[in-house]
Amino acid sequence: MATNMYDAAYALQKAITENPDFIALKQSYANVQADPQAKQLFDQFRAVQMELQQKMMQGQQITEADNAKAQQVVALVQQNPKIAQLMQQEQRMNMLIGDLNKIILKPLEELYGPLAQ
């Protein structure tokens, strides 16, 4: 009997929660949340990020002022070791999720492959 797709997805969900990189990311996030200064800075960084994303999604122009504000927050954030560590682990996790996605979507990619010819 073939494994149910949903069962396999839940097994992967569980494997992610037990993955050392995910656990490290969770810990780094908790470290930031537990430090009021780091938390405030990180929340500010996320708010600026989200504002820029929304502008881009709505097709609005990103102004010089937007860019300057973003660069200022990024500079502050990079100087905070707890946030720097969190961001490094986020990048690592994003890479892993990208790898997982490639594996999972391969059957669909192979199906449509000949179309591109």
Where on the chain is the footprint of its own copies (CB under 8 A)?
2-19, 22, 25-26, 29, 33, 43, 46, 59, 93, 96-97, 99-100, 103-108, 111-112, 114-115
Give which of Ca ion, its own copies, none residue 9 binds (C-beta under 5 to 8 Å, depending on kind). Answer: its own copies
Q: How far apart are CA 1 and CA 64, in angstroms?
A: 59
16: part of which helix (H) or strand (E)? helix 5-17
Binding mask 52-91 for Ca ion (x = CB under 5 A): ----------------------------------------
Q: How far apart are CA 85 and CA 68, in angstroms?
A: 23
The residue (of 6 and 112) whose beta carbon lies closer to Ca ion is 112
Q: Are 25 and 90 in contact (CB under 8 A)?
A: yes
Enter the tokens of residue 98: 């990208």
Q: Are 48 and 73 in contact (CB under 8 A)?
A: yes
The residue (of 6 and 75) whose beta carbon lies closer to its own copies is 6
For residue 65, count other CB atoms closer than 10 A to its CB: 8
E strands present in 19-117: none
The residue (of 8 and 34) whose beta carbon lies closer to Ca ion is 34
Give which of its own copies, Ca ion, none residue 85 binds (C-beta under 5 to 8 Å, depending on kind). Answer: none
Give which of its own copies, Ca ion, none residue 60 binds (C-beta under 5 to 8 Å, depending on kind). Answer: none
